């Protein structure tokens, strides 16, 4: 009598599980890659409207908070800094000086404290005599909105609320004053 | 002053001094930060400026400042979880070593278990199939729902094989003699 060797048939359920699992894994990988490729860096924001934000200010400043959109019509210089940022020390005094010389010409400086502790931040402000409105970036919201890659980074906002220039790293006196002069002279377009 | 009175006064002074010293020591110890606890909390936080390092192992100035802040919060009476919540609110949830268990990040907690369960289910099915096919082979019948193929009867094939072995042995003996 003939004997037969049974052939094992691959499990349909097991095969389906492998296909589903593999597809899900590939989808996740592609999604992660897409998110990373779409990540914007701060310099790419140049020419675009500045993201609006409300910055709570340190206690020594009045008022308690400051909203960017309320400064429309002024030239705004937003400087991201931190007390542990060695490069920030190089421009701290210069920024304060420029603020003092241009505050009556429709220019506002804003300091956004990045990933810093309040105690050290206040000590930094005192050390460099910073008097322009400064406050901590709560929840890292503002830093992410401006897609900063580190500190110091300085954003120059024109009178129409657009990002006219992004400065990565410390700024020199000639660069700073040239930018301010240009933006002050530039008429407002959106009236 | 009698000796007894003098002895009593001395004991009183000694007790007072001891109490004062103990009180001072305990106050000092209370003000000393508990570095073990600070580092324990810091291990649950990421270094803000360096990738892949937790706050306890990081040696940058930033990390030292953040550990100092942990110490301040602990001294103010914050619990470990309250300290972590403070940092997450202040600096964003990305400072936490473990992703929060809500929103999209909840998936990161759930997916590994799903993957393990799925893998376990697949393995169980595979082993069941192997067991079924092996049993069918032993009993000489096909497992339910499985096709089979005809093969020659075992005694005929065994005879053919033995004959081939004999032929090969004879050939080898012939080669040895020469």
Measured CA to CA, the distance from residue A155 to residue A68 in angstroms comes to 12
Which residues of chain A are within 8 Å of residue B92 when distances are taken between CB atoms? 139-141, 144
* Nearest residue in chain B measured CA to CA from A15: B122
Cite the beta strand spans of chain B per DSSP E. 148-151
pLDDT at residue A106 in the model: 95
Superfamily designation of domain B33-98: Cytochrome C biogenesis protein (1.10.8.640)
Which residues of chain B are within 8 Å of residue A22 when distances are taken between CB atoms? none
pLDDT at residue A189 in the model: 84
Cite the beta strand spans of A117-169 per DSSP E. 134-136, 153-157, 163-168
Comparing CB atoms, the residue among A10, A115, A119 nearest residue B91 is A115
Least confident of B65-74, B90-99, B141-150: B141-150
Measured CA to CA, the distance from residue A96 to residue A114 in angstroms comes to 18
Q: Residue B155: pLDDT band by 50, 70, 90 thresholds?
A: low
Q: DSSP secondary-structure letter at A115?
A: S
Q: Determine the 3-state secondary structure of A68 from DSSP.
A: helix
- For residues B9-32, give the mean pLDDT: 76
- pLDDT 10s per residue in chain A (191 long)? 455 555 555 567 767 777 887 888 888 888 878 776 667 777 888 889 999 999 999 999 989 999 999 999 999 999 999 999 999 999 999 999 999 999 999 999 999 999 999 999 999 999 999 999 999 999 999 999 999 999 999 999 999 999 999 999 999 999 999 999 999 999 988 76
Over the stretch B129-154, which tens digit does the pLDDT of each residue have? 888 876 666 665 554 555 555 554 55
Given an 8 Å threshold on Cβ–Cβ distance, is A14 in contact with B122? yes
CB proximity A138 to B under 8 Å: yes
CB proximity B16 to A under 8 Å: no
CB proximity B50 to A under 8 Å: no
Measured CA to CA, the distance from residue A64 to residue A111 in angstroms comes to 14
pLDDT at residue A153 in the model: 97
pLDDT at residue B87 in the model: 95
pLDDT over 90 percentage in chain B: 26
Given an 8 Å threshold on Cβ–Cβ distance, is A117 in contact with B129? no
With vertex at residue A155, the alpha carbon angle to CA A151 and CA A160, rounded to the nearest 5 degrees, is: 165
pLDDT over 70 percentage in chain B: 74
Say whether pTM exceeds 0.80.
no
CB proximity B105 to A under 8 Å: no
B57: closest CA of chain A, how far (Å):
18
Average model confidence (pLDDT) for chain B? 80
Q: Residue B57: pLDDT band by 50, 70, 90 thresholds?
A: very high
Paired tokens of B163: 């004959």
pLDDT at residue B159 in the model: 82
Taking one residue from A and the other from B, the number of pairs with CB-CB distance under 8 angstroms is 94
């Amino acid at each position: 009598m003939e004997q037969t060797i049974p052939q094992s048939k691959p499990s349909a359920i097991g095969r389906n599980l492998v296909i589903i699992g593999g597809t899900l894994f590939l989808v996740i990988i592609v999604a992660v890659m897409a998110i990373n490729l779409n990540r914007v860096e701060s310099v790419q924001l140049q020419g675009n409207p500045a993201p609006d934000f409300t910055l709570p200010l340190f206690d020594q400043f009045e008022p308690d908070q400051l909203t960017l959109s309320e400064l429309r019509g002024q030239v705004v210089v937003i400087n991201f800094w931190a007390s542990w940022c060695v490069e920030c020390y190089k421009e701290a005094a210069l920024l304060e000086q420029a603020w003092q010389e241009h505050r009556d010409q429709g220019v506002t400086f804003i300091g956004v404290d990045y990933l810093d502790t309040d105690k050290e931040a206040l000590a930094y402000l005192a050390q460099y005599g910073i008097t322009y409105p400064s406050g901590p970036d709560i929840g890292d919201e503002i830093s992410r909105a401006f897609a900063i890659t580190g500190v110091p980074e300085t954003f120059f906002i024109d009178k129409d609320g657009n990002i006219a220039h992004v400065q990565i790293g410390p700024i020199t006196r000639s660069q700073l004053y040239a930018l301010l002069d240009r933006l002050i002279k530039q008429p407002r377009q959106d009236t | 002053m009698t000796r007894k009175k003098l002895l009593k006064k001395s004991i009183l002074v000694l007790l007072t001094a001891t109490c004062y010293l103990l009180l001072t020591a305990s106050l000092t110890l209370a003000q000393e930060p508990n570095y073990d606890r600070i580092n324990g909390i810091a291990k649950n936080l990421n270094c803000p400026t360096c990738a892949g390092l937790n706050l306890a192992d990081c040696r940058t100035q930033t990390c030292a400042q953040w550990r100092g802040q942990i110490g301040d919060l602990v001294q103010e009476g914050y619990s470990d979880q309250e300290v972590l919540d403070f940092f997450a609110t202040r600096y964003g949830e990305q400072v936490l070593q473990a992703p929060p268990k809500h929103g999209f990040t909840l998936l990161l907690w759930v997916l590994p278990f799903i993957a393990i369960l799925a893998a376990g289910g697949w393995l169980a099915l595979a082993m069941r199939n192997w067991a079924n096919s092996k049993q069918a082979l032993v009993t000489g019948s096909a497992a339910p729902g499985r096709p089979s193929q005809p093969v020659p009867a075992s005694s005929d094939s065994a005879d053919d094989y033995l004959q081939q072995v004999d032929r090969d042995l004879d050939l080898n003996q012939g080669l040895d003699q020469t």
